[in-house]
């Protein structure tokens, strides 16, 4: 084979990088050090970005949450309800409790006591979620949006007919879905 087998380039002109006083093992060691340092840097940066120092949300006090007892409209705090006697509940509610009702009340009272911390805060997520005063009209409601988007005005009417705690949010998103479907209809008609 001729020395110069490429007519465009001269093989002897190609230069291979040369590191003085280096062998293949030292180059491999240098490469491994770089990979190790890069891996360590990536690991430290991802661990550093993963920390979350968000402030804890204030917990709900059991003495500030009130529940109605009986038909008289009398309300009592959860802290007082966890300590009250059955006779007092019967007196406040105005009705006599059967044996099964008394046992269920005592079981619920024990569970309520377990969910109240010594500092008076409620520990259970269910109680905290139930006592938070959230604005239901602010969140996205997929069902309401789908009713308005696919059924237009009929979907909005259906959203008004469904009566539950999310009615306000459903109606709002049904109107938004109906408006978006109307805009899309007008744009496609043009």
Q: Are 122 and 67 within one domain?
A: yes
pLDDT of residue 124: 67
Please enumerate in sequence order all residues whose Cβ is within 8 A of that of 6, keeping only pairs 6 or more positions apart, or say none.
none
Q: Are 37 and 75 within one domain?
A: no
Domain span at residue 44?
Answer: 19-48
pLDDT of residue 127: 63
How confident is residue 9, by pLDDT bands cut at 50, 70 and 90?
A: low
- Most confidently predicted of 49-63, 106-120, 123-137: 106-120
Position 4 in a domain? no
Q: Are 69 and 124 within one domain?
A: yes
State how many domains the chain has. Answer: 3
Q: Are 110 and 91 within one domain?
A: yes
Position 3 in a domain? no
Q: What percent of the chain has pLDDT over 90?
A: 23
pLDDT of residue 41: 78
Task: Between 46 and 55, name the one with better pLDDT.
Answer: 46
Position 8 in a domain? no
Position 41 in a domain? yes
Q: Are 74 and 123 within one domain?
A: yes
Mean pLDDT (the chain, rounded): 79
Position 148 in a domain? yes
Position 176 in a domain? yes
Position 5 in a domain? no
pLDDT of residue 18: 55
Position 9 in a domain? no
Q: Are 156 and 126 within one domain?
A: no
Q: Are 25 and 70 within one domain?
A: no
Q: What is the mean pLDDT of residues 52-65?
A: 68
């Amino acid at each position: 084979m001729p020395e110069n087998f490429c007519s465009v380039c001269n093989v002897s002109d190609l230069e291979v990088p040369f590191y003085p006083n280096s062998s293949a093992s030292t180059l491999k060691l240098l490469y491994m050090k770089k990979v190790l340092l890069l891996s360590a840097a990536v690991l430290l940066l991802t661990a550093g970005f993963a920390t979350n120092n968000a402030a804890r949300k204030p917990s709900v006090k059991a003495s500030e949450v009130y529940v109605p007892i009986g038909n008289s409209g009398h309300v009592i705090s959860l802290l007082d309800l966890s300590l009250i006697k059955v006779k007092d509940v019967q007196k406040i509610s105005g009705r006599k409790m059967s044996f099964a009702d008394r046992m269920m009340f005592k079981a619920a009272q024990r569970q309520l006591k377990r969910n109240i911390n010594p500092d008076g805060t409620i520990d259970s997520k269910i109680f905290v979620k139930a006592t938070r005063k959230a604005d239901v009209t602010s969140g996205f409601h997929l069902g309401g949006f789908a009713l308005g988007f696919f059924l237009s005005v009929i979907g909005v009417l259906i959203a008004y007919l469904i009566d539950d705690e999310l009615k306000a949010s459903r109606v709002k998103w049904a109107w938004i879905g109906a408006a978006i479907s109307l805009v899309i209809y007008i744009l496609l008609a043009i």
